[in-house]
Structure formats: structure tokens, C-alpha cells
Amino acid sequence: MFSDRSAVSGEFRRKRGLSSGHRFFDWDKNVGYWLASKFFQCCRVIIASFCFVAVLYAYDLNAVASAASKPKSWLEWEQLTGDWGGGRAALADRGVSPYMTWTSQITHSLHGGLRSGTDVEGVVEFGADFDLQKLGAWNGATIHTSGFWIQDNNDPSADFVGNFDEVSNLAALRSVRFYQAYVKQNFFAGKLIAKLGQLALDDDFMISSQSSMFVNASFGSLPVLSANTKAPIYPLGALGVWAQMNFTSAFRLQMGVYDGNAGTQTSNRDGFDYSLSNRQGAAIMTEFGLDGGSGTYKLGALFHTGEFTDYRNGDTRSGNYALYFVLDQMLTGNRDTPTLGVFLRSGLSPLVGCNEVDWYVDAGITDRGLFNGDRIGIGFSHSSFAGAFVESQSNSGAPVTDAESVIELSYQKQITHWSMIQPDLQYVINPQNAAAHNALVAALRMKLSF
């Protein structure tokens, strides 16, 4: 269905796991990898069984009755469905915290791009967290599970704009899919934290607390990673292990090793495809973080051991890497109670022959105190496309630009504890599709917590 969509920009297929210069390999019939895959499948069954038993154990009707109190107005509830007559609080006291959110966005291309038009995207995220200490299992451990119900196939960037940086970070193939399930353990009074299971890389790395308010996908996972590799990012998870060492309260190091190829949204339709292979490699992430006064500073690197196609000659090369940094600086307030702040992120991927994006930068300013604690921000992003990629696209009859920029203005209004709306305006400069014009895009996002 997507083979004819934005063949020039290819952003939807690339960022969302539909195609890439990173070669996809089928199952390698290697006994070690087969045993590893079966082991993780058994772990998944064990975790699911444990979660089911934990819910039954935690849901004590007597505790529900004692937790019930004078009812609040539904506008004062923390979630749209309330406290379930005390049931939610009783479950939390026993160590079980189910959750569900629904995020929907209407996106309209006002001017320029490929053509005018409107798309609607919707994503339900659901899951539960289990505190194993409260459940009487073992101290310092938790289990996290999550999944998505992606309700639409719409992709406004491919349908109307023709740009690289996805104007809606919700865009994905319609599906109900498993996302993450992992065990998290604290060691040495929280000095060391580790996770093992099915993980998403962009939940831990490259994060800016300020850039994350924007709806353009470039302000999330850095394009030097999302465009150039098939490492696990939304909506695809993959097997992995992650650890963070807190040297002091301000200085930390985190590292992660993930399956280097999370598959595609079509081949990994339900999120349970574990096609491990030594040829698809591993994505190895490292990031140093420093909290200094009113700012947070991060320096990180990706090394990928898989095989990649060289755009210059079609040869296969082993290995790829990228470097990046993230700055979040408060101008007023502090990290705990931020008000006015700025952010800056940049990434570099030097092996230009194998990469679509060779460098990237974004920056912006956000404020929480201007309108009674609501968030407002303006951000700028710039993606530079590698010369070998640009030339290969031109030779194939699908010319692209050599760079693309986005300016985004966004405003988050918290209506109740469980509802938020976010009007958004983006101006896309020099869209990747050479046939597209500069585009003005408006969007309205709504989020509900159940």
C-alpha cells in the first residue's frame, strides 16, 4: 500500500521501519541465535504469566473498599476513568499500575508542499508497571510492559508535504503491536540501574526535556540514527540490555546494546519478530550525562556492527557510527521547576557513503510560566543529506534536495489532569522531495489519559 507514497523522500518508510540503506537479512540458521531467540520467547511468556498472576494477587476487594473516599468531580480525576471506586489505588498499593493513553492529531497542509490535504492519526498506548518489591518477589525490581494500537495508516509528510522530517511523530502503519517488556533492577542503592528485555532505544538516549514537546519527529530520535540505521525506535522495539551508572548525583554514564535490526512494520507486524542474525549486527549506545546547576548536558555515540549499503557503488560495508550532544539550559527556574529554557542538539554521522543524513542540528526555546503553567515553544531543525545519497537519488530519477529545515511553533494547554490539547504550526523549508515547495502545515493534537 505504501510502495507509491513519497518515493523521493522515503521518510515514512525509513524512520518507521519500512526501508533503509541498512540491509535487512532474514533468519540466519545459526544454533546460538536460534537458542537466544527461543530463550527470549520463553522469557516473554514467563513475564506475561507473572503479570497476570500479579494483577489477580493485587486486586484485593477489601483494599478497594478501604481506598474509596469521598468522590471528586470527574474534572478533578487524575485519569478520565477515575480511581475505579478505589480499585486503581488498591492496585498501586499492591504494586500494579496499569495505564492507557490516547493521542490523536489532525494535520492539514495549508500551503505548498506537494498538495493541500488533511490527515488524521491516532495512537493508543497501553501497558502496566509492576513493583516486584510490593508484590513480595524481590527488592529493587520492576517490570514494565507496553503496546500500541495504531489506528490509521495516514502519513501527512508522504501524502501532502514531501518532506523528510515527519510532521507528525505519531505516523505509523495501522496495527496492534507489542512494544516493550523488560525487567528493571536497581543495584547498590540506585548507583547502578539495569534493564533487560524488549527495549526501545529512543526511550533512554538523545532525549531533551524541552525538544520533546514538539510534534515533528526530528525533535525526538536524532535523524543521524533514525535515518541511517534500523535500531529500535518508535513504533518498533527489539531485544536489548541497558545499564546506567550514577557516579554522583549529577554525573552518570548509560550504555545499551540492542538488536541492530528491529525489522520493518510490515515484517514485524505484531512486535514479536525476533529474527536475530550476526549479519544484522548490534546497535551499541553510550551516553555521558551531567546535571550542572540549571542545565543538563549529554554527550553520546552510536556504534553499529551491522552491514550497510554504500550509496556510491552499491557495495556492502560493515559498521557505522554517529556522535551527538544534547544541551538543556534553564534561563529561569531550574531542572525541577523549569520555566524559561533553551535547548540545542546536534548529531554527526561521518561515513557519508552509507548514510542518508550526514549531520543534523536543532535548537529552540520553551516556556512554562507565560500562560498559567502551559507550555509554549518554538524550535528549528536542520537536516543535511549526504552527497552520495543525494547523487544516488538523482541518478535513479528521484531527485532530492541537499538539506531541509523546519520551524515549529507549538502550544500545550493542560485542560484537566487527564486531558491536553496542542495547536501546532510548522513551516518546512526546502522539502527533501525536489518536486515539493516550501510548506506551511497546521496541526491540532489531543491527548487523553484513561
d(CA 446, CA 419): 7
pLDDT for residue 266: 86
User: Domain for residue 3, yes or no?
Assistant: no
Let me know if residue 229 belongs to a domain: yes
Is 423 part of any domain?
A: yes
According to the model, what pLDDT value does residue 278 have? 64
Domain assignment present for residue 364? The answer is yes
The answer to which of 79-93, 276-290, 415-429 has the lowest mean pLDDT is: 276-290
- Predicted confidence at residue 48, as pLDDT, reads 44
Q: Which three cell numbers stand for residue 64?
A: 478497594
Question: How large is the average pLDDT for residues 236-265?
Answer: 95
Q: How confident is the model at residue 373 (pLDDT cuts 50, 70, 90)?
A: confident
List the single range of 13-17, 98-102, 192-196 with lowest mean pLDDT: 13-17
Using CA atoms, how far residue 75 sits from 67, 82, 448, in Å, is 20, 9, 12
CB-based contacts of 153, cutoff 8 Å, min separation 6: 1, 2, 173, 174
pTM over 0.85: no
Q: What pLDDT is stored for residue 436 in this prediction?
A: 95
The CATH number assigned to the domain holding 140 equals 2.40.160.180
The share of the chain scoring above pLDDT 90, in percent, equals: 70
Domain count across the chain = 1
Is 277 inside a domain boundary?
A: yes
Domain presence at residue 6: no
pLDDT recorded at residue 12: 34
Across 272-289, b (16+ Cβ under 10 Å) vs e yields ebbbbbebbbbbbbebeb
User: How far is it, in rounded angstroms, from Cα 234 to Cα 219?
Assistant: 13
Whether residue 16 is predicted with pLDDT greater than 70 in this model: the reply is: no
- pLDDT at residue 24 tops 50: no
pLDDT at 23 > cutoff 50? no
Interval 269-275 mean pLDDT: 80
Cα(431)–Cα(152) distance, integer angstroms: 24
CA nearest to 115, candidates 277, 264, 6 = 6
Residue range of the domain that includes 224: 11-449
- pLDDT greater than 60 at residue 17: no
Q: Is the dihedral of CA 362, 245, 349, 265 positive or negative?
A: negative
**All three cell numbers of 75:** 474534572
139-159 pLDDT, tens digit each: 999 999 999 999 988 899 999
Q: Tell the burial category of 398 from Cβ atoms under 10 Å away from its Cβ (0-12, 13-18, 19+).
A: middle
Query: What is the average pLDDT across 108-128?
Result: 96
In the block, cell 503553567 appears at 373
Residue 193 has pLDDT above 50, yes or no: yes
Counts for the chain of helices (H) and strands (E), in that order: 7, 16
Q: How far is CA 3 from CA 13, 17, 154, 158, 306, in A?
A: 9, 13, 14, 11, 25
User: pLDDT by residue (tens digit) across 48-91?
Assistant: 444 444 444 444 444 444 444 556 788 889 999 999 989 999 99
Phi-psi bin for 279: left (phi > 0), alpha (psi -120 to 50), beta?
alpha
Residue 87 in grid coordinates: 480499585
Query: Is-contact 390 430, C-beta < 8 A?
Result: no
In a domain, 1, yes or no: no
Domain-located, residue 4 = no
* Closest to 275 measured CA to CA, from 18, 13, 30, 19: 30
pLDDT(306) > 50: yes
CA atoms within 13 A on the CB side of 387: 1
Q: What is the pLDDT of residue 140?
A: 93
Residue 5's contacts (CB-CB under 8 Å, 6 or more residues apart) are 12, 13, 155, 158, 159
**Angle, nearest 10°, between helix axes 87-94 and 31-58?**
130
User: Which neighbouring-strand residues pair with 261?
Assistant: 230
339 band by pLDDT with thresholds 50, 70 and 90: confident
- Tens digit of pLDDT for each residue in 318-328? 999 999 999 99
For residue 39, what is its C-alpha cell? Answer: 530463550
β-strand partners of 316: 309
Confidence of residue 292 (pLDDT cuts 50, 70, 90): confident
